[in-house]
C-alpha cells in the first residue's frame, strides 16, 4: 500500500539527512484506470506525512480514456481533477496548460480560505 511505501521511503531519506521531500503518488504509473481514480479519492489522506503533495494528471490517460476523447481535448477533465487534487490537499501541480492551472489554483484557494476559517 502506498502509505506504507511512502512512510518507509520518508524514514529512509530522513535517516540519510534528506528532509525536503515531496510526495508524488504517481498517477498513471502501473495503475489501472480505476486505481487512478481511487488514488484521487484517497489523496486527502496523504497529509499524514506532513510533506507537500505533487499531482501530475495533466492530459493523463485516466482522463481521456474515461471521457472517450484525445489527450489534446482533455483540458476540462484536467482542470476538474486539478481542482479536486488541490481541495484534497495537493500543493504542487505538474501541468501542460499553465494559464488554466493558475486559474484553478486561484479559484480553489478562495474556497479553501473559507474552509480554513470554519475549521479554526
- Just list the catalytic residues: 60, 94
The 3-state DSSP class for residue 42 equals coil
As a whole number of angstroms, the distance between CA 6 and CA 96 comes to 26
The grid coordinates of residue 18 equal 534528506
Cell triple for 86: 488541490
Q: Which residues of 56-87 are buried (b: 16+ CB within 10 A; e: fewer)?
A: bbbbbebbbeeeeeeeeebbebbbebbbbbbe
Do 69 and 78 form a contact (C-beta atoms < 8 A)?
A: no
Amino acid at each position: 500500500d502506498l502509505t506504507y511505501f511512502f512512510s518507509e521511503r520518508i524514514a529512509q531519506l530522513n535517516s540519510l539527512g534528506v528532509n525536503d521531500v515531496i510526495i508524488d503518488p504517481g498517477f498513471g504509473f502501473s495503475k489501472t484506470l480505476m486505481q487512478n481514480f481511487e488514488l484521487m479519492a484517497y489523496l486527502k489522506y496523504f497529509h499524514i506525512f506532513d510533506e507537500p503533495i505533487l499531482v501530475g494528471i495533466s492530459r493523463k490517460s485516466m482522463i481521456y480514456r474515461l471521457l472517450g476523447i484525445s489527450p489534446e481535448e482533455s483540458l476540462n477533465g484536467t482542470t476538474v481533477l486539478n481542482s479536486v487534487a488541490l481541495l484534497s490537499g495537493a500543493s504542487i501541480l505538474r501541468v501542460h496548460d499553465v494559464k488554466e492551472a493558475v486559474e484553478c489554483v486561484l479559484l480553489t484557494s478562495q474556497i479553501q480560505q473559507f474552509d480554513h476559517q470554519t475549521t479554526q
